[in-house]
Amino acid sequence: MMLKQRMLSAFYGALLTVSATMTVANDNWKPYPSDLFKPDLTGDNLAKEWPNITRATRDALPEDPALQDVWRVHFEGNFAEAKAKGLALGTPQGKYVAYRAQTIYAMYMTPKPSAGEEESAERTVLLKEAADELRALVDDMDSGKIESSLQIRFWFAYAMGRYVEIMKPTWGILTKKSKVKEMLKYASDIPPASDIPAFHAFRGGVYAAIYDDGFLARTTFRGYIEDCEGTIVGYEDGSLKQFKCAVKALGATPFPELYNSYAKALLQLDSKKYQDEAETYKQYATGASTPPGVDNMIFSAEDAMARNAAKKQ
């Protein structure tokens, strides 16, 4: 009996040690800027605001209070805490929110990588880790080990896309081709008409970026360019239709990154033809002007940081 008690004590002591380690693992992350909007998601506010704060990815409100708490601290901007708490749950959904928080932190709160130092930059390292960890979840879905989730599939593709975006200029032709094709393949595993507005915006941005890479890239990847129904189309048509699907799905509650990505894509497709339209969307992203029929685009820390980044670009 005494041996059993000692073993249990050691076991729970180890759990506490692991938990404490995870809690401080990211204590070097910078705190959320105090001058940015921070929602109050305490109590019933999380459920009340859920449709707005998750409108980009259409996640379901979890029943588990512990997982709700992970989402709460993430959308309030406590990214290190969200990662620690998400990983501590030991579940696929907890891991998803943890690395979603890491992706957002990497994109908006770390310095832009300097030329020649892309691979070792903090942003790149964090994005690669997030993509690698989420890829493992996707592989487990495909092998039937865990329940499938379109949101986890999308966020993996998104994190991978952000990583590729940084590293692409440093890679040789063969590596670049391999990585972009891999990203497109994983994205194609998500149904083209999926009810995830951010997925359409992501695809629209990727198509425009490939088009901007030149003739060889356009020829290599043209078989992946689809509209929102899965029909193969040209680059310009595909990019514009994907963004329009995202805008339509979001209605009166678009998000800043959508418009910022839309503006960038238009300039990549044809800077002269779309100059005025791109400027309009850039104004929407920064908050300098408001889209017709829209009262508010800032509901969470994700939104606030995206707008702040658009202002700085």
Question: Token pair of 123, please?
Answer: 């942003």
User: What pLDDT is stored for residue 313 in this prediction?
Assistant: 84
pLDDT tens sequence across 102-152:
999 999 999 999 999 999 999 999 999 999 999 999 999 999 999 999 999
Who has greater pLDDT, 9 or 263? 263
* Cα–Cα nearest to 166, from 207, 120, 97, 224: 120
pLDDT tens sequence across 240-295:
999 999 999 999 999 999 999 999 999 999 999 999 999 999 999 999 999 999 99
Q: Is the pLDDT of residue 50 over 90?
A: yes
d(CA 51, CA 75): 13
pLDDT tens sequence across 203-226:
999 999 999 999 999 999 999 999
d(CA 262, CA 244): 9
User: What pLDDT is stored for residue 26 in this prediction?
Assistant: 67
Who has greater pLDDT, 3 or 35? 35
Question: Token pair of 118, please?
Answer: 């892309």
Is the alpha carbon torsion for 138, 144, 147, 149 positive or negative?
Answer: positive
User: What pLDDT is stored for residue 27 in this prediction?
Assistant: 64
**Burial bucket for residue 135 (CB in 10 Å: 0-12, 13-18, 19+):** middle
Q: Is the pLDDT of residue 11 over 70?
A: no
* Residue 18 confidence class, pLDDT cut points 50, 70, 90: very low
pLDDT tens sequence across 51-78:
999 999 999 999 999 999 999 999 999 9
pTM for this predicted structure:
0.90
Buried b (16+ CB within 10 A) or exposed e, 198-231: bbbbbbbbbbbbbbbbeeebbebbbebbbbbeee
User: What pLDDT is stored for residue 1 in this prediction?
Assistant: 39
Residue type, 16: L
Who has greater pLDDT, 245 or 22? 245
Q: Is the pLDDT of residue 19 over 50?
A: no
Place of tokens 């990588």: 113
* Residue 9 confidence class, pLDDT cut points 50, 70, 90: very low
User: What pLDDT is stored for residue 6 in this prediction?
Assistant: 41
Buried b (16+ CB within 10 A) or exposed e, 300-310: bbbbbbbbbbb
